Amino acid sequence: MLSIKNLHVSIEDKAILKGLNLEIAAGEVHAVMGPNGSGKSTLSHVLAGREGYEITDGEVLFNGEDLLSLEPEQRARLGIFLGMQYPVELPGVNNMTFMRESLNAVRRGRGEAELDAVAFMKRVREKAKLVELDDRLLKRSVNAGFSGGEKKRNEILQMAMLEPQLAILDETDSGLDIDALRVISGGVNALRSPDRSIILITHYQRLLDYIQPDFVHVLVDGRIVRSGDKQLALELEKKGYGWIEEEAAA
């Protein structure tokens, strides 16, 4: 489904990703871990199409299509979803209106009919229940004044609404209390299916108790320096990143 080959990315002439390779097949869950500043969010932004990054080498194919030449909205319509590490506040933009515009734009892109107001409401209520998001937050401005956990629930709600093929969740678990972690994991697990893939960026092995990954990758200084299964995450939890960094440097 997703094939990243030798990806090099710079920001303002500073190299951030330095030859990253990653292959993700349909139905797989990949956890990406790594020290602060190693380039995890950069990777997620580049996949979603954020401006300001210079791709100096490499390619990214999504179902065989050259992803990097597409606008962010086109990628979303192809089924890519980015749950952001820092969800953006949109004062004055009603959450419900926003989600409806978004869902219908994606549906149009997929050649599906738009949902009318009633069908949309039904769907959003149902999904909001899934992520235990207070109905009142739907009536407010997108993320404006939401608590950290509420913002993350709102991200997962959008993911549940859009039913993406590839969900990239950038530290969706950071700053969540235990209950919220369980809820959000439930939301993600509900989405798991043989034709969907998930990239989970996280610092905590704890999340992986809830969402069992098929693969765990360690991103250090712009490269994936080690890949393994769940055991790798447990090892990292115990030993930290030092030993991997040393091995990678050697």
Partner 1 sequence: MSTTVEAQRAWFEQAIDQAQGDLPGQDLEWLQQTRAHARRAIGTLPVPNRKSEEWRYTAIEGLLKNSFQTPAGEADAARVLEAGGWLEPDYPAYRVMIVNGRCIADASQTAGLPEGATVGSLRTALATDPELLGTWFGQAAAHTDHLFTALNTALINDGIFLHLEPGVVLDRPVEVVYLSLGQEQAPLTQPRNLVVLENGASATLVERFIGPGDALYFHNGVTELALRDGAVLKHYRVQDESRNAYHLSSLYLTQDRNSLYQGTTLAFGGAWARTDYQAVFKEEGARCELGGLYTVGDRQLTDFHLDVRHNVPDCSSREQFKGILYGKGRGVFDGRILVEKQAQHSDAHLSNDNLLLTENGEIDTKPQLEIYADDVKCSHGTTVGQIDPQQMFYLRSRGIDADAARRMLCLGFAGEVIDAIEVPELREYASQRLVATLNQSIQAAE
Ligand X SMILES: Nc1ncnc2c1ncn2[C@@H]1O[C@H](COP(=O)(O)OP(=O)(O)OP(=O)(O)O)[C@@H](O)[C@H]1O
Which residues is 66 bridged to in the sheet? 61
Q: Which is nearer to Mg ion, 33 or 103 (CB)?
A: 33
172: contact with ligand X by CB under 6 A: no
**Beta partners for 220?**
223
For the chain, where are the E strands, in sequence order? 2-11, 14-24, 29-33, 54-62, 65-66, 80-83, 90-94, 141-142, 166-170, 197-201, 215-220, 223-228
For ligand X, which residue of 4, 20, 31, 39 counts as binding (CB under 6 A)? Answer: 39
Which tokens sit at 181?
Answer: 């972690």
Cβ contacts of residue 208 below 8 Å, gap of 6+?
31, 200, 202, 216, 230, 233
45 touches 132 (CB < 8 A): no
Choices 91-99, 117-125, 208-216, 241-249 (CB under 8 A): range interacting with partner 1 = 91-99
Nearer to Mg ion, 41 or 197 (CB): 41
31-39, 89-97, 100-108, 123-131 -> range binding ligand X (CB under 6 A): 31-39
Distances (CA, A) of 243 to 169, 179, 206, 208: 26, 33, 21, 21
Does residue number 41 form part of the binding site for Mg ion (CB under 5 A)? yes
Query: Which residue among 36, 113, 242, 250 contacts ligand X (CB under 6 A)?
Result: 36
Asked if 41 interacts with ligand X (CB under 6 A), we say yes
Residue number, 62 or 241, with CB nearest to ligand X? 241
Among 11, 90, 119, 190, binds partner 1 (CB under 8 A): 90
Backbone angles phi, psi at 84, to 5 degrees: -85, 150
Q: How many residues interact with Mg ion (rule CB under 5 A)?
A: 3
Write out the binding residues for partner 1, residues 44-73 only, by CB under 8 A: 48-52, 71-73
Non-local (6+) Cβ contacts of 168 within 8 A are 44, 47, 48, 80, 81, 82, 83, 198, 199, 201
H or E stretch covering 138? helix 135-139
Under rule CB under 6 A, residue 42 binds ligand X: yes
Q: Which stretch binds ligand X (CB under 6 A): 8-16, 65-73, 91-99, 124-132?
A: 8-16
Instruction: Choose between 42 and 165: whose C-beta lies nearer to ligand X.
Output: 42
Contacted entry of Mg ion, partner 1, ligand X, none for residue 16, CB cut-off 5 to 8 Å set by kind: ligand X
Residues in contact with partner 1 by the rule CB under 8 A: 48-52, 71-73, 75-77, 81-82, 84, 87-88, 90-93, 97-98, 101-103, 105-106, 109, 141, 158, 162
